[in-house]
Structure 1
Amino acid sequence: MTIQMNRRNFLFASAAVGGGLYLGISPQAAEAAEAGQLNAWVVIAPDNRIRIMASNPEVGQGIRTSLPMVIAEELDADWAKLEVVPTIADSKVYGRQVAGGSQAMATQYELMRKVGASARGLIVQAAATAWGVPAAELTTAKAMVMHAASRRAAPYGQFATAASALPAPDAASVPVKNPKDFKLIGTFQPGVNNRTIVAGKQAYGIDAVLPGMLHAAFEKPPVQGAKVKSADLAKAKAMSGVRDAFIVPGTDEYEGLSAGVAVIADTTWHAQRARTALNVQWTDSPAAFQSTATWEKLAGEAKGKPPAMAVHSSGDVSAAMARAAKRISADYAYPFIPHVPLEPINCTAQVIGDKVEIWAPTQNPEPGRAAVAKTLGVPLENVTIHMMRVGGGFGRRLQNDYMVEAAWIARAAGRPVKLTWTREDDITQDFLRPGGWHYLEAGLDAAGRCIAWDNHFISHGRDGKFARAANIGASDFPAGIVADFRVGATVLPLIHTTGFLRAPANNAFGFVTQGFIDELAHAAGQDPLQFRRDFLGAPRFIGDPAARGSYNTGRMRAVLDKAAAMAGWGRKLPARTGLGIAFHFSHLGYFANVIEASVAKDGTVKVVKIWVAGDVGRQIVNPAGAINQVQGSILDALNACQTHSITFADGAIEQRNFGDVPLARMDQTPPIEVAFLTPDYPVTGLGEPAYPAVAPALANAIFAATGVRLRRMPLDTALLKA
């Protein structure tokens, strides 16, 4: 379970938009503060026990290890002896508490350095006062303060109470270490919870237990937007172990509380068993029109028409195409796909009067707090959220629909309730990664250089606007690379919920752009690696260097060259075996992949090995976690591009369980070699940027092995039979 600390006991910290950190404490809070509480993240007890607060959601990305490592480094604590303690959700104290966008390191690395250095400074100041010596004469190491001249040494705990009463230092003037002096940052460290996970003792959201807790199942419509027409509540209530069954009317808001039928029982098994007896009849839904076959037809019809909206246009694409020596066109497509985290969606809630307490495996607690408060009509500050360890999220748990459901059902039940979804719920009620189509044309000059690029992008939305995570940006690659460049879009109608999936948009766009660039290389009769190097051009920033979407072509070329060198690009390979290369810039990270794949005569594809080069700035905090993140991204993307697809018929999702969207097994996992470049740029995140270049690298390897170009995900290996 998480530890909830009284809000008065914190020295409040907040990050300004410009990146400054401000530490402060009121006299009243100082009087109430826990002895040795130096700021919102650091507590040092008189016996020298050190606690570092982990304030970000942990979804397996290792942030509850890496950010505390940053604090511990600057604090000069003994990493082997301190305790990392997860906090509750409280953005007023901790600022951004989100596992998404690979933003934790980008926004908090320097801040956490200041947190640790400020806490160390308070200890040193208190020790200097106690010993009557200048603070400049003191050194620290392993949670000890030393004064060489007098040969004195004492643990931090001896000064912690006095330090906690001192005024907070000016964060802007607090010195941090020169990276060459790092002792902890940059070393391989296991996750702080690894032992408890391996031993089966880690408390995930699904493990939450409260006194008097009941269990809930929630039957929702197969077609989103439908309401309950009738349900056999009496039959469900009569079953053993069942305490109640009732209709949830839902709200009329898009993405609000869904209508359905809740079953409350002694165990999850009893609740799910009774759910099968409900025989729910549903009203018609406005989403009944949804059909994969219909969307495919509409997308095909849109191909021959001008885009419904302009996204980006630079230069004169028509004129450039007219003077091109060669014009190449290709159609790419990708489906809806689900998140399928291994831990089923769940949430535990308790409602007492107008107070709500929630234990949730959430990636983004604050919007969940707001949604619960709004739906239940309680004050926002009355909703407390315990951020439980998350058994996989990949973006699904950025939305908190399950949190609202659990809170509503718990209030109706009058008891603490744990809501657990089935795998079928997970898939059919997912906030899916949107599908899309790209109708591409490019022009090459006589030297094989790309001089024009035109993309008619088709995806989903409502009222002519893109659905969540379905849009394409005006600055998306290769905007800024090709002078005569145009992107237009058409939106097909959709009501089912969509959401962000690891490397949102990029997870699909990488496949399209890098696959098409490979086609251009071959059309130009050039080596795919050299074509890409020439395509990127001289090292420079594309876009405003201060803007999040801008990127450095030199950094991209560096990872491209590194991955190629690792793989031995250009070496001779056996028959029906090929090397494919791809790169992508995503979430401030630069990654390039080379995949070696062999294709049997029956079309079976074997990924022999993957080489990955990445650049996320000047420092890798925890190489063990970083390598895990990259390998996880690679495997996630490799699995999705080969086996995952969600289709609709009569408004409903047709896939139900892992048999329909299988996950990769151990024997399908290829060796993955990872290398990091560390140029002198700010530290950024790793959860997502290694993902987008995987699918195109594989498709390009397949082409190199067989001469067959696969332009649709999931990759159809039936087309590869010799």
Structure 2
Amino acid sequence: MAGLDVSRRSFLSASLLAGAVLGFQARLALAATPGTEGAPPPALNAFIRINPDNTVVIGAKNPEIGQGIKTMLPMLIAEELDVAWEQVKIEQTDFDDALYGPQGAGGSRATPVNWEPMRQAGAAARAMLVMAAAGQWKVAPETLTTAQGMVHHAASRRIASYASLAAAAAALTPPELAGVPLKDPAKYTIIGTPRKGVDTPAILAGKPLFGIDASPPGMVYAALEACPVFGGTLASLDDGAARAASGVIAVVPINTGLVAKGKHDAVAIVADSWWSAQQARALLAVEWDNGANAAFSTAGYAREAETALGGEAPSDILRKGDAKAALARAAKTVSARYSYPFLAHGTLEPQNCTALYEEGKLTFWAPSQSPGSGRRQVCEMLDLPPEALTIHMTRIGGGFGRRLMNDYMVQVAQIAKALPGRPVKLLYTREDDMRHDWYRPAGWHALSAGLDEEGRLVALQDHFVTFGAEGKPLRAAEMEETEFPAQLLDDVHFGASYLATNLPTGWLRAPTSNAMGFVFQSFLDEVAEAAGLDLPSLVLRTLGEDRMLEKVGRAPQFNTARARKVIEEAVRFAGWKGTRPKGQSDSGKGRGFGFYFSHAGYFAEVVDVTVSPEGTITVDKVWVTGDVGAHVINPLNAENQVQGSVIEGLGQAMIGQEIEQVEGRITQANFDSFPLMRIDGAPAQIAVNFVTSDYPPTGLGEPALPPVVPALANAVYAATGQRVRSLPMKLA
């Protein structure tokens, strides 16, 4: 946000929030920059500028990936600043975490991390405006009120616009943020009201907002030929034909970030157009040294997993009590195996990034979910200091965790350094994107549960096979020891076996939960049937008394009362009858339930399906009930996020999404072999409601996804009598 780039020396830093989510301390830098003739209007702090026409420019500091954060965070500031939303203009800031605090999009953390700091930023600016008016009118600040960008003094009937006070306010010392009073929620006029996305008109008009739209003057284009086998390196290169091709400027061997520094595993072709670069790419004569990496395959992983599940788990995730003994003495036991595949992210905007290298400094136009991590990775690869990087954050055309990885920043930085003074845009093809992703890891589970004579769940065991090394899981292959309902039972064993792979793994929307929700809630549906119950009844009985469970590590703390309320409301909302169908439905119709707690959100969902005699699944309707705290900040966007989560989860489960590896490389290349959910496959209705609880609000980008997958699987069982224990669903 160039308009708010005031001198860093003029900023006074104030500690706002001990960030419980990641253990960092969020900091807000406040600025007092009075306007001068010919200068931009005064900035009251790092986020707020008052224009002469009494409109307010608010900086949106986090990356926007369609989750609505560019609208939501400014809503918090505007509420406490006490302006009308119609007065607000929003600008995306650049990346500067020393100035703005944490700037990232992942883990549904933006709301809990920024709920208080952003409101304090608005309240502090409002207090400064009130103090400026009080000084001019010689009255006590407490005698003044604010509304819609105006300061009022009721006794004298004086009114002043924020614009008329801004210069005087900016000259004041900012107040201590911890002591700035915040609004009574009963007086909110913006928080809790539906607001359309601030970028929506520009997107509909086709205006350039996204990383792929970046076009600085003099820009050239790069296409990338990367080793198709992850971990392979460049053995030989004949680039003569490519260099001689029309429009080609340079051929640059680079490191994608996946092999040791100093080695090359990709070749960039730079040209005056992307088409020229892509055409010349086909003229490269490249040989790769794949080493042992070509031996990896999904078929091989499945064989290894089968062998591992036949033995004891060598690693423990959780061991409490004696699950083996408890299962042996249980009145009834239930056992089943579940599995799920590798998944790609499938973002509609393929990976891209633009960079300019000049005089030892790099400027980026980056569609990154985690620009701070990207800065660190680039600095490590090119041996640059952090202050040498400037990162302009663009809107992102789909992230889902893929753009947390920043490989595209590392790659374009090397290309740009090879062509100093010329901006370079790196753009993947769809095939590049699909075959060079950071994949959601596959997993296999062998589960057993024990029930007592009254049908109560008393023991749980899971042997989890996934990917890792030296007894530790790879990124996104983790399983939490708090996996529901482990904390509610005395005898639990979660063990793990880890397989080797050359595939890079990464977080996919609702990391780990997107898989664990399917496994555990589907299996608990089996357990419920063995107990003579439906799944909501089993979960409610297992929850026991209302209480806060012990906090474990970094996992959010689980509140059984909040879980109970969400489940009971979902049952009421969907008209769940409390009895489960037995076996196959003559009508082909079935109803399933799923509950899950992830990213500090509690969600329960009911899915209605119709399954044709040929095995075609049609999702008729989905009911969703969630608890994300005391406030749903933007109800319109909240509903959209929930519906998007449901559609994405259904797509992962029922339309054939899976990544196959053969001889070390990925076989899928485009959406014909890795399909996304289409309009005609989405549910006709997704009904959403929220229950509120007396807790600070939490994020919504992810927690609605995990429960829909088991709810779908359980609905298919209710309709057909056929258990779905492996994804994607393939009915016989």
| TM-score for both structures, normalised by structure 2 | 0.94
Give the CA deviation at 1:29.
10
Aligned counterpart in structure 1 of residue 406 of structure 2, from 388, 400, 404: 400
What is the identity, as a one-letter code, of the residue corresponding to 1:418? K
Q: What is the Cα-based RMSD across aligned positions, in Å? A: 2.2
Residues paired across the two proteins, number: 718
Are 1:339 and 2:335 matched, yes or no?
Answer: no
Task: Evaluate the alpha carbon distance shift between residue 21 and residue 4 of structure 1 in structure 2; reply closer, same or farther with a 3 A threshold.
Answer: closer
Asked if 1:587 corresponds to 2:599, the answer is yes
Aligned to 1:233: 239
Q: CA deviation at 1:285?
A: 3.1
Task: Confirm whether residue 651 of structure 1 aligns to residue 675 of structure 2.
Answer: no
1:49 aligns with 2:50: no
Per the alignment, residue 496 of structure 2 pairs with 489
Letter in 2 for 1:626: A
1:711 aligns with 2:710: no
Q: Which residue of 2 aligns with 1:452?
A: 459
How big is the shift at 1:610? 0.2
Who is 2:609 aligned against? 597
1:203 to partner: Cα distance: 1.2
Is 1:38 matched with 2:52? Answer: no
Distance 1:262 1:4 in 2: 36
Instruction: Give how far 1:555 is off.
Output: 0.9
Which range moved further: 324-333 or 539-548?
A: 539-548
Q: Deviations over 1:192-222 (max 9, x none)?
A: 1111011111410000011111000011001
> Which of 178, 190, 193 is 2:184 aligned to?
178
Deviation of 1:223 after TM superposition, in Å, equals: 0.4
Aligned match for 1:73, one of 71, 79, 83 = 79
Q: Does the 8 Å contact 1:463/1:493 carry over to 2? A: no
Residue in structure 2 matched with residue 691 of structure 1 by the alignment: 705
Taking the aligned partners of 2:258 and 2:533, their CA distance within structure 1 comes to 56
Whether 2:642 is the aligned partner of 1:623: answer: no
Match of 1:106 among 106, 112, 122: 112
* 8 A contact 1:24–1:168 mirrored in 2: no
Q: Is the 8 A contact 2:351 2:433 kept in 1?
A: yes
Residue in 2 aligned with 1:471?
478
Contact preservation (8 Å) 2:35, 2:167: no
SS of the counterpart of 2:569?
Answer: helix
1:660 aligned residue? 673
Q: Secondary structure at the match of 1:80?
A: helix
Kept in 1, the 8 Å contact 2:33–2:170? The answer is: no
CA contact (8 A) 1:205 1:361 kept: yes
Label 1:451 to 1:554 Cα distance change in 2 as closer, same or farther (>3 A): same
2:176 & 2:275 partners in 1: Cα distance? Answer: 56
Deviations 1:333-364 (A, max 9, x none): 00110111111100000000211000010000
Q: Give runs of aligned pairs for residues 163-242 of structure 1, distance below 5 A.
A: 163-242=169-248
Q: Which residue of 2 aligns with 1:289?
A: 295
Q: Name the CA distance, whole Å, in 1 between partners of 2:234 and 2:386.
A: 30
- Out of 130, 148, 162, the position equivalent to 1:142 is 148
TM-aligned CA deviation for residue 546 of structure 1: 9.9
Shift, 1:537, TM fit? 1.9
Deviation at 1:545, TM superposition (A): 8.9
Counterpart residue identity of residue 564, structure 1: V
Q: 1:557 aligns with which of 540, 550, 564?
A: 564
8 A Cα contact 1:339 1:501, kept in partner: yes
Query: How many Å separate the matches in 2 of 1:234 and 1:24?
Result: 53
For residues 19 and 394 of structure 2, the distance between their equivalents in structure 1, rounded to whole angstroms, comes to 30
C-alpha change, 1:223 and 1:21, in structure 2 (3 Å) is closer
Larger CA deviation: 660-669 vs 573-582: 573-582
Q: Shift in Å at residue 48 of structure 1?
A: 2.0
* Structure 1 gaps, min length 5: none
Distance 1:495 1:686, change over 3 A: same
Partners of 1:14 and 1:95 within 8 A in 2 = no
3-state SS of 1:461 partner: strand
**Per-residue deviation, 1:251:** 6.6
Amino acid at match of 1:676: F
- Decide whether the 8 Å contact of 1:53 with 1:84 is kept in 2: yes
Q: CA deviation at 1:687?
A: 0.4
User: Residues 565-608 of structure 1, C-alpha deviation per residue, up to 9 Å, x if partnerless?
Assistant: 12111289871111100000000000011000010000000000
TM-score by length of 1: 0.96
- Distance 1:187-1:546 versus aligned 2 partners, 3 A rule: farther
1:5 aligns with 5
Cα 1:181–1:554 change in 2 (3 A) is same
- Return closer, same or farther for 1:708/1:163 CA change in 2, 3 Å cut-off: same
Amino acid at match of 2:5: M
Letter in 1 for 2:722: V
1:311 Cα deviation after fit: 1.2
Structure 1's 211 and 143: CA in aligned 2 closer, same or farther, altered over 3 A? same
Q: Distance in 2 between matches of 1:623 and 1:112?
A: 18
Residues 229-283 of structure 1: per-residue CA shift (max 9 Å, x gap): 2334111122222222232366774699862111011111111111122132211
Q: Residues of 1 paired with 2:189 and 2:83: CA distance?
A: 10
- CA gap of 1:352–1:188, structure 2 versus 1, over 3 A, is same
Deviations 1:431-465 (A, max 9, x none): 10011001001111111111110100110022332
- The 10-residue stretch of structure 1 (561-570 or 649-658) with the greater mean CA deviation from structure 2: 561-570
Corresponding residue for residue 506 of structure 2: 499
> Is 1:700 matched up with 2:714?
yes
Q: Which residue is 1:325 aligned to?
A: 331
Aligned CA distance change for structure 1 residues 326 and 25 (closer, same or farther; 3 Å): closer
Q: 1:30 to 1:379 in 2, by over 3 A?
A: farther
Q: For residues 42 and 27 of structure 1, what CA distance do their matches in structure 2 show? A: 11
The verdict on how the C-alpha distance between 1:546 and 1:133 changes in structure 2, with shifts beyond 3 A counting, is farther
CA distance in 2, matches of 1:27, 1:150: 29
Amino acid at match of 1:589: G
Match in the other structure for 1:606? 618
Matches within 5 A, 1:253-332: 253=259, 259-332=265-338
Alpha-carbon shift at residue 18 of structure 1 (Å): 5.8
Q: CA deviation at 1:528?
A: 2.3
| Candidates 423, 433, 452, aligned match of 2:440 | 433
1:476 Cα deviation after fit: 2.2
C-alpha deviation, 1:31, in angstroms: 10
Specify which of 382, 385, 390 is matched with residue 388 of structure 2: 382
Aligned to 1:17: 18
What is the alpha-carbon distance in structure 2 between the residues aligned to residue 474 and residue 171 of structure 1?
Answer: 38
Over 3 Å counting, the alpha-carbon distance change for 1:515 and 1:21 in structure 2 is closer
| SS of match in other structure, 2:131 | helix
Say whether the 8 Å CA contact 1:354–1:379 is kept in structure 2.
no
- Residue identity (%): 46
How many Å apart are 1:542 and its aligned residue? 2.1
Amino acid paired to 1:504: P
Aligned CA distance change for structure 1 residues 232 and 24 (closer, same or farther; 3 Å) = closer
Structure 1 window deviating more from structure 2 (298-307 vs 611-620): it is 298-307
- Is 1:461 matched up with 2:468? yes
CA distance in 1, matches of 2:235, 2:627: 55
Higher deviation after alignment, 655-664 or 609-618: 655-664
Structure 1 residue 107 displacement after superposition: 0.8
Which residue type is aligned with residue 302 of structure 2?
E
For 2:352 and 2:32, the matched residues in 1 are separated by 41
Quote how far apart the aligned CAs of 1:135 are. Answer: 1.1
Unpaired segments of 5 or more residues in structure 2? none
